[in-house]
Amino acid sequence: MKSGFTLLAAGVVISLSLAGCGASGDAAGSSGDGSIEVQTGLAVDSKLLSTLKEVTNSFQQANPTVKINLVPNSTTYEKDMKVRLASGNVPDIWWTHGWSRDRYSKFLLPLQNEAWATNFNPALSDAMKDSTGAFYAMPIDTDIAGIIYNKDVLDKAGVSVGTIKTWGDFETAAAAVKAHGVTPITVSGKANGPAGNLTDWISPGAYTKDELAQLKNGTFVGDKYKTVLDLVAKWRDQGYFNPDYASAATTDMDQALAQGQAAFIFSQNNRINNALQYNPKANLGFMPIPSLTSGPSYLVGGEMNAYGISKTSAHTEDAKKYLAYLAEPANESKLAQSAGSAPGLTNATANMGAVQASYDQWMTQAKTTLVPYFDRVYLPNGMWNTMVTTTDSIITKQSSVDAALGQVESDFKSLYGQGK
């Protein structure tokens, strides 16, 4: 769910190579040549970054005195942002990846008084606004995610997503897909994130409301998390994951989905748009996530692609001007569509491209419950990496469920109280 970040030197090298992305500068928040450093949090091959480049080029043509330095990510974004914030080496603008309020607000300018802020999508209020109504990032999109699927693969296996209401139904579908020689679930073990998405997607449906409240209050409810890890171990034993898991990159996930070599991905909808770049004819969509309790299926979401401005930037006015340009309805609509999500601002057009049909089916018509990402609300800061590594250890059989659960519980207890 979190993306990585280039190390300082690597970030400079990559940014220098971005033709048409604005003048290059050093990687400090106040670039030596006066450019605005934007840590995009986006992979070099993502459709959203490609669109952001286009919009940024247009902005710079209209504002030739403002230089924008777009920096793509790699695999250690979260860790390196913590280091940069602690050292005072802060980017002018950075991707807040779901933490604009709870982790980054003390470093960011409040934006609720900007002209575009009147169009802030109220669906994001619970995730992004504080008790005073302030928010600290411009939302590119409203993240709504479920389980991504390839409909053609499922059709050949005789499976309809409408019949998948429980994890038992899901496993029946996975078995049918596997019987046709196709990988049921593709996951990247090489990237720092996709393994964690499995447990992050499943976990909200493992707990009751009272148990979720216990987690928020610092009590680890381990038996329920064990049911999540048990499910992952069961899928591993049934051979539902891609055999090249350990070496697979996210681009391999995209290609497998696009080429009909995999049925399901647990990820945000940008994976669909990325996959369509490999095969524009792929028939892709997303479906709700079954519950491990007797509760209904659900979708996960909240803040995803959003950008905040450093309080210490030497270019705050130009940075605000840049975010205001991104927030213009035409630009916001284009960016949100490339992310495969609904816009983050209400005056933009909700054109979700390949996932529009899924959005209409599950949100507009079925009114499926949208729950926040589990790690952002119910786990203390720092737990995301634990979710990734422990889930990975189960998929690779490097750890038992009990050992992985013990690590999750230990990190939960040690990190709780340190703040998000």
359-372: pLDDT as tens digits: 999 988 999 998 98
pLDDT tens digit sequence for 89-130? 999 999 998 889 988 999 999 999 999 999 999 888 888 999
Q: Residue 396's CB: how many other CB atoms inside 10 A?
A: 14
Which amino acid is present at 58?
S
Tokens of 16: 């220098």
- 408 confidence band (pLDDT: 50, 70, 90): very high
Cα-Cα-Cα-Cα dihedral sign, residues 162, 1, 334, 347: positive
Q: Residue 86 pLDDT > 70, yes or no?
A: yes
pLDDT reported for residue 419: 57
- Topology (CATH level 3) of domain 8-144+302-359: D-Maltodextrin-Binding Protein; domain 2 (3.40.190)
CB 249 within 8 A of CB 190: yes
pLDDT tens digit sequence for 233-266? 999 999 999 999 999 999 999 999 999 999 999 9
- 196 confidence band (pLDDT: 50, 70, 90): very high
Instruction: Return all residues near 59 (Cβ < 8 A) that are at least 6 apart.
Output: 66, 68, 322, 325, 326
pLDDT reported for residue 3: 40
- 21 confidence band (pLDDT: 50, 70, 90): very low
Q: Residue 231 pLDDT > 60, yes or no?
A: yes
Q: Residue 299 pLDDT > 80, yes or no?
A: yes
- Topology (CATH level 3) of domain 146-301+365-415: D-Maltodextrin-Binding Protein; domain 2 (3.40.190)
User: Which H or E run includes 222?
Assistant: helix 222-237
pLDDT reported for residue 33: 57
Which amino acid is present at 214?
Q
Q: What are residue 299's DSSP bridge partners?
A: 370
Exposure letters 288-319 (e unless 16+ CB within 10 A, then b): bbbbbeeeebbbbbbbbbbbbbbeebebbebb
Q: Residue 27 pLDDT > 70, yes or no?
A: no
Mean pLDDT of the 386-400 span? 98
Q: Where are the domains of the chain?
A: 8-144+302-359, 146-301+365-415
Q: Residue 292 pLDDT > 90, yes or no?
A: yes
Tokens of 167: 């994890």
Nearest CA to 232 out of 375, 373, 370, 400 is that of 400
Q: Residue 31 pLDDT > 70, yes or no?
A: no
Q: What percent of the chain has pLDDT over 90?
A: 75
Q: What are residue 68's DSSP bridge partners?
A: 36
Q: How far apart are CA 73 and CA 346, in angstroms?
A: 28
pLDDT reported for residue 23: 33
Mean pLDDT of the 187-204 span? 96
Q: How far apart are CA 339 and CA 40, in angstroms?
A: 13
What is this structure's pTM? 0.77
pLDDT reported for residue 133: 96
Tell me whether residue 352 is exposed, middle or buried, using C-beta atoms within 10 angstroms of its C-beta: 0 to 12, 13 to 18, 19 or more.
buried
Average pLDDT, the chain: 90
- 48 confidence band (pLDDT: 50, 70, 90): very high
Mean pLDDT of the 132-136 span? 97
Mean pLDDT of the 64-78 span? 90
